[in-house]
Amino acid sequence: MAIIDGLGRKLNYLRVSVTDRCNLRCRYCMPFGGVAPIEHKEILSFEEILRVVSIMADLGVNKVRLTGGEPLVRKGIATLAKRIKEIRGIEILGLTTNGVLLGDMAKELSDSGVDAINISIDTTDEMRYKNLTLFDMYNEVRRGLLAALENSFNSVKVNCVLSPFSIPDDWIHVAAFAKDNAIDVRFIEWMPMAGEEMIEQNIIYRMDTVKGVLGKEFGEMTPCSNEENVAACAKMFSVHGFIGRLGFIPAMSSPFCKSCNRLRLTSTGDLRLCLFYDKGLALKSLLRGGASDEYIAKQILKTVEGKPAGHIGHRVNFGENSDTEAISSICGMSQVGG
């Protein structure tokens, strides 16, 4: 069984946002005052999430990633992870976190069957971290990263977003995590969404600029072969003297839409076909309205036919002299689940 969209793409990867809440306020992700929290009753329960994953696993999804908001602020997340991993057909379970709570939770998550952990770290400078996230938590995050490395995850990755707030020193220092550790550090082109504080800024860093800076600092970057490029969305490079690798997710300059294998489940139970596409399937009313698994499965298969070929959203132009045009969604990253 496989979930195939209208363009023949096989969709085997479900990203599940377990909460809209977060213990940070990254300025490129959320508006300054945060977003109004969604009422608890509107958020899918664990049983509802498990039911959706199980239906989708029967249809052919074999990879799930838990995200948010911040997934580690949701009580019982390790139990959810364990139960997802027990679902027949789910082979790989990942989790994306800001790392603040990871120091105390890494072992539990690893014991619960989480295979792959991605930690978001945009700067190694304590003051800059506080300025960017509005919380003085850099040392907690460092502790979280170390705890992740001490546990037996199959992969530990660091994500660094190239937001308008970012500077070359950040890229160099974050990249250095991959020098002495078996970590893939990936630089993600910032995707303007709705409502972030930085949307007015006209500095948009692209992969080529950042790769140039890192190449100058660390020496030649050799592209990894396709087999090594495990994550199809990332372009990975090895660097002489590095244990880990460096990579780029050129989400804006060279989106990977043609080979996209993703679906998203928002914390309020919408199945989304793309980060930048607001149409999807409102699963919550089906789950709570007595629909059978078979009916829900049919609706999912029908909905995915409409997965767009590429990003659809508001176009944002960054100034008269800028050749940079970005696409913005009407819903923020922390809401749809990054």
Which residues of this chain interact with ligand SAM, rule CB under 6 A?
Answer: 22, 28-29, 67-68, 70, 96-98, 120, 159, 161, 188, 190-191, 193, 333-334, 338
Q: Which does 191 bind (CB under 5 to 8 A by kind): ligand SF4, ligand SAM, none?
A: ligand SAM
Q: Which does 5 bind (CB under 5 to 8 A by kind): ligand SAM, ligand SF4, none?
A: none
Binding of ligand SF4 at residue 266 (CB under 6 A)? no
Binding of ligand SF4 at residue 22 (CB under 6 A)? yes
For ligand SF4, the closer CB: 5 or 70: 70
Joined tokens for residue 149: 């490395």
For ligand SF4, the closer CB: 31 or 215: 31
Question: 221-223 and 235-239: which strand pairing?
Answer: antiparallel
Q: Which does 97 bind (CB under 5 to 8 A by kind): ligand SF4, ligand SAM, none?
A: ligand SAM
Alpha helices by DSSP H, listed for the chain, are 46-59, 77-85, 102-111, 126-133, 138-150, 168-175, 177-180, 207-218, 283-288, 293-304, 333-336
Among 11, 30, 141, 327, binds ligand SF4 (CB under 6 A): 30
Binding of ligand SF4 at residue 117 (CB under 6 A)? no
Minimal distance, residue 98 CB to ligand SAM, in Å:
4
Question: 277-282 and 92-97: which strand pairing?
Answer: unpaired
Render 261-293 in DSSP notation, one character per residue.
Answer: -EEEE-TTSEEEEETTEEEEEEHHHHHHTT--H
- For residues 70-109, which are near ligand SF4 according to CB under 6 A? 70, 98
Binding of ligand SF4 at residue 26 (CB under 6 A)? yes
Joined tokens for residue 166: 């970012």
Best CA proximity match to 311, nearest among 242, 241, 268, 262: 262
Which contacts of 32-36 are long-range, i.e. CB under 8 A and separated by 24 or more positions? 32/197, 35/195, 35/332, 35/334, 35/335
Minimal distance, residue 111 CB to ligand SF4, in Å:
24
CB 248 within 8 A of CB 201: no
Q: How many residues does the chain have?
A: 338
For ligand SF4, the closer CB: 24 or 43: 24
Point out which span in 24-32, 51-59, 238-246, 293-301 binds ligand SF4 (CB under 6 A): 24-32
For ligand SF4, the closer CB: 112 or 120: 120
Q: Which does 25 bind (CB under 5 to 8 A by kind): ligand SF4, ligand SAM, none?
A: ligand SF4
Cα–Cα dist 274/9, whole Å: 13
Q: Which does 73 bind (CB under 5 to 8 A by kind): ligand SAM, ligand SF4, none?
A: none
Binding of ligand SF4 at residue 331 (CB under 6 A)? no
Q: Could you tell me if residue 77 is left (phi over 0), alpha (psi between -120 and 50 degrees) or otherwise beta?
A: alpha
For ligand SAM, the closer CB: 299 or 324: 324
Binding of ligand SF4 at residue 69 (CB under 6 A)? yes
**Which residues, in sequence order, are bridge partners of residue 4?**
10
Q: Which does 67 bind (CB under 5 to 8 A by kind): ligand SF4, ligand SAM, none?
A: ligand SAM
CB neighbour burial string for 97-118, b if at least 16 within 10 angstroms, e if fewer: bbbbbbbebbeebbebebbbbb
Among 110, 123, 163, 334, binds ligand SF4 (CB under 6 A): 334
Q: Which residue is nearest to ligand SAM (CB)?
A: 338
Cα–Cα dist 32/13, whole Å: 32
Binding of ligand SF4 at residue 24 (CB under 6 A)? yes
Binding site for ligand SF4 (CB under 6 A): 22, 24-26, 29-30, 68-70, 98, 120, 334
